[in-house]
Structure 1
Amino acid sequence: MIEITEKAATELRTLMESEDKKDHALRIFVAGMGCSGVQYGMALDNETKEDDVTVTDKEIKIVMANDINEELSEATVDFIETPQGNGFVIDNPSEMSGCGSCGGSCH
């Protein structure tokens, strides 16, 4: 089951409150493919689709399409702060990564 870190949960609660979206869930979706593998996107959403899977961790509802649920079974949503900026990230240890994982050339 996908998990959310305490820091990410705190940041999400703050974001949801400031945007008056306390009734929303964190939707995770496939945003594209690249040499480093699947690129996931995240958004606050208050609608569910028929094929959605919903999980709750640290009182945050997480929604995703059923077809990516298994891919994200060991993933963690985190919030990072770097010199380049702050944001939410998905750490997925089961995801293949590295140059060439898409079958293409990175040169």
Structure 2
Amino acid sequence: MINISSSALDRLKDTLAEQDNPNLFLRLGVNPGGCSGFSYAMGFDDQESDQDIFMEVSGLKVVVDKNDLRYLNGLEIDFEESGMSGGFTIENPNAIASCGCGQSFKMRDEEGRPEVCD
């Protein structure tokens, strides 16, 4: 299960409403790489695959590739305003460590592909 805070849901739904494509949904995923070995992928998509798992979180369609679900199960997404900026934050109960930027994480049993941090 993926958890999305009300502030993150509001931001995502507002952004979706601004798009010209009513078929868009939120796609979450994991890529090898990043400072700690794995990095998060989050964006809008309208292309579905047989590998996808669909869920609805407070009226928002969320799609995760079934191979990535083991990394993301229990994920908590929030949106925080900070002065003149703001952004999405991710808390992952499956990660044993994460990079200072919050976009990269390390798993206990998988190394991923750690890269030099910029």
Aligned AA (2:71): E
TM-score, length-scaled by structure 2: 0.73
Could you report, residue by residue, the CA deviation over 1:15-64 in whole angstroms, capped at 9, with x for unpaired residues? 01112344311011224423434210111111111101111111111111
Contact 2:30 2:71 in 1 (8 A): no
Describe the shift of the 1:3–1:31 C-alpha distance in structure 2 as closer, same or farther (beyond 3 A): same
Describe the shift of the 1:98–1:25 C-alpha distance in structure 2 as closer, same or farther (beyond 3 A): closer
Please name the residue that 1:40 is paired with: 40
Report the secondary structure of 2:15's partner residue: helix
Contact 1:35 1:97 in 2 (8 A): no
1:7 Cα offset (Å): 0.8
TM-score, length-scaled by structure 1: 0.80
Distance 1:36 1:43 in 2: 21
Unaligned runs of 5+ in 1: none
* Total equivalences in the alignment: 105
Describe the shift of the 1:57–1:81 C-alpha distance in structure 2 as closer, same or farther (beyond 3 A): same
Identity %: 28
Give the aligned CA root-mean-square deviation in angstroms: 2.6
Please name the residue that 1:7 is paired with: 7
